[in-house]
Chain A
Amino acid sequence: MSEVIVVTSGKGGVGKTTTSANIGTGLAMLGKRTVLIDADIGLRNLDVVMGLENRIVYNIVDVIEGNCKVSQGLIKDKRNPNLFLLPAAQTRDKDAVNPEQMKELCNQLREDFDYIIIDCPAGIEQGFKNAIAAADRAIVVTTPEVSAIRDADRIIGLLEANEIHDIRLVVNRLRVDMVKRGDMMSIDDVIEILAIDLIGVMPDDESIVISTNTGEPIAADPTTIPGRAYENMCLRITGEEVPYIDLDLPTTFIGKLKNLMGIKG
């Protein structure tokens, strides 16, 4: 039974594309046949984050307009044979595609894939409408900031209005030290406002910044904390209940030493 999951946020720059790339990688590593669709036509990024930009021959608009077969448009991932990418067009814009066409495309893909992950563009206009058209469920990504949460709330309202009721929350770029100081909202604060179930918490980590630039999703390395966090998120997507990593644990050497010796701070 294949699932179409849209990764959305409303606000731009909170981590939709990063999350999509890493969820795709993580699910493929769990053995699920997964396809990533970049719905941000005109401002495509998923191919860059995946490190597959120089393998693009055809894109989603080519497929929808019938210039090529779906199989010709799909790009196999460098590392994982279970993972495929359908890139966006860079020379067109969001009006090149309509919701009906998206639904049709996803229906076709359902036959061959367990999970179809749609990377939604920022905003609430045509791009958003296209991206959610075929979705069975949604993952809303937000950072613990007032403006991002405001937009996420709007997005959740729109998703519910479009009969998508399985909506889960990813809190991205959490900085525990700032939360402790009271300078950043906690996860509980965020959940209180948005009132949907959590599916993942990502710390604000330098390694993630590096990985998006190099085109090597961090989920490929579950030994790192972010890698493990993404792995857990993917397990939860498949329905497993996994406890959340305590992000409050020290990561520096001195910190770990202090922790071992029972010294706080």
Chain B
Amino acid sequence: MNDIVLLKGNQHGLSVFINEDSSFEQIKDELINKLEGARNFFGANKVTLSFNGKSLDDNQQKTLIDLFSEHSDLEVLCVVDEESEIENLRETITNELRSTVVDEVSDIIKKDYVNVINEIKHKVEILEQEKMKLLNDIKDFEDTKKVSSKIQLDIKDEVKFHYATLRSGQQVIHNHSVVIMGDVNNGARVEAGGSVIIIGKLKGVVNAGLNGTDNAYIVALDMKPVQLRINQTLGRASDEMMNDSSNTEPKIAFVEDGMIAIETIDNKVLKEIRGN
């Protein structure tokens, strides 16, 4: 700033800018010049004054204010410490702003944070539910395995193949179908959940369909059983059949009309049993 004194209007009144390098005398003189020069311009108005630039003590300020009264028609209402005012204002504004911003931001963050927390809580809840569900599923599965392992001896071998003749007193017990590659002597037993096929003579006892199926059948190359049973139906071969040593054709026993029927195996019978 080249001018020793500069007068600027502002919304409140006049700002007096004083060159910091000037002496007080110079300042006084310059102010008088400026005031006299702009007397008409300024007119008779009420103004507030604020001093900027070189800092003045109270006396100096008073002196300058007196000059206003002497050399202008202006009425000085008060002095506003503009700079500090501004400074204060700035500070206040800044603080205000800051706190507002902080509040807002923290609110936003808080809001978001709370939202995030809630979201996470919600997600955790969902995961917990899924975990409970999975644990229940596992328990169910294990329970069925336990139950089924009680009744199933060999889960992988659905059909049990027995490669030996069953002598009197021996037995084969299985929860599915059974194939005996040998004879079943009198006094031997086969108990099967499904069907029983005997590649040999059947002279013992066979209980088939114990899983509850009436559809189970019993096949033997020489059918001379002591007793047959398919599910709940009990039966035996006729005396004729038992005593007929010449008829040794393979036969099949199945349930028909609530009784055990034994027939020679031919296509007709197989068709009936197959259902096609």
Q: Judge if A154 is at the interface, Cβ distance under 8 Å.
A: yes
Q: C-beta contact mask, A241-252 vs B, less than 8 Å → 1, else 0?
A: 000000000000
Sample (19) of A-B pairs whose CB atoms are under 8 Å apart = A150-B186, A150-B187, A151-B168, A153-B167, A153-B168, A153-B169, A153-B185, A153-B187, A154-B167, A154-B168, A154-B169, A156-B167, A157-B167, A157-B169, A157-B170, A158-B169, A160-B167, A193-B203, A195-B165
**In chain B, residues 192-232, which have Cβ atoms closer than 8 Å to a Cβ of chain A?**
203
Q: Give complex CA distance A202, B240 in Å.
A: 33
A151-B168, A153-B185, A157-B169 are known contacts; what are 12 more A-B pairs with Cβ within 8 Å?
A150-B168, A150-B187, A153-B169, A154-B169, A154-B187, A156-B167, A157-B167, A157-B168, A157-B170, A158-B169, A193-B203, A195-B165
Residues of A within 8 A of B168 (CB): 150-151, 153-154, 157
A residues within 8 Å of B by Cβ?
A: 150-151, 153-154, 156-158, 160, 193, 195
Report whether over half of chain A's contact residues are helix, strand or loop; otherwise say mixed: helix
Cβ-closest chain B residue relative to A159: B167
Residues of A within 8 A of B186 (CB): 150, 153
Closest beta carbon of chain B to A140's beta carbon, Å: 12
**In chain B, residues 156-201, which have Cβ atoms closer than 8 Å to a Cβ of chain A?**
165, 167-170, 183, 185-187
Q: Give complex CA distance A154, B186 in Å.
A: 10
Q: Give complex CA distance A153, B169 in Å.
A: 8
Residues of A within 8 A of B169 (CB): 153-154, 157-158
B residues within 8 Å of A by Cβ?
A: 165, 167-170, 183, 185-187, 203
Q: Give complex CA distance A206, B92 in Å.
A: 141
Residues of A within 8 A of B170 (CB): 157
Residues of B within 8 A of A193 (CB): 185, 203
Closest beta carbon of chain A to B223's beta carbon, Å: 16
Cβ-closest chain B residue relative to A157: B167
Residues of A within 8 A of B167 (CB): 153-154, 156-157, 160
Residues of B within 8 A of A157 (CB): 167-170
Q: Give complex CA distance A151, B186 in Å.
A: 10
Q: Give complex CA distance A49, B167 in Å.
A: 32
Q: Give complex CA distance A154, B169 in Å.
A: 6
Q: Give complex CA distance A195, B170 in Å.
A: 16
Please provide the 3 A-B residue pairs with the shortest distance between their CB atoms, ordered closest to farther: A157-B167, A153-B168, A154-B168
Q: Give complex CA distance A151, B169 in Å.
A: 9
Residues of B within 8 A of A160 (CB): 167
Residues of A within 8 A of B165 (CB): 195
Cβ-closest chain A residue relative to B182: A195
Cβ-closest chain A residue relative to B169: A154
Residues of B within 8 A of A150 (CB): 168, 186-187
Residues of B within 8 A of A158 (CB): 169
Residues of B within 8 A of A151 (CB): 168
Q: Give complex CA distance A13, B212 in Å.
A: 45
Residues of A within 8 A of B185 (CB): 153, 193
Closest beta carbon of chain B to A70's beta carbon, Å: 35
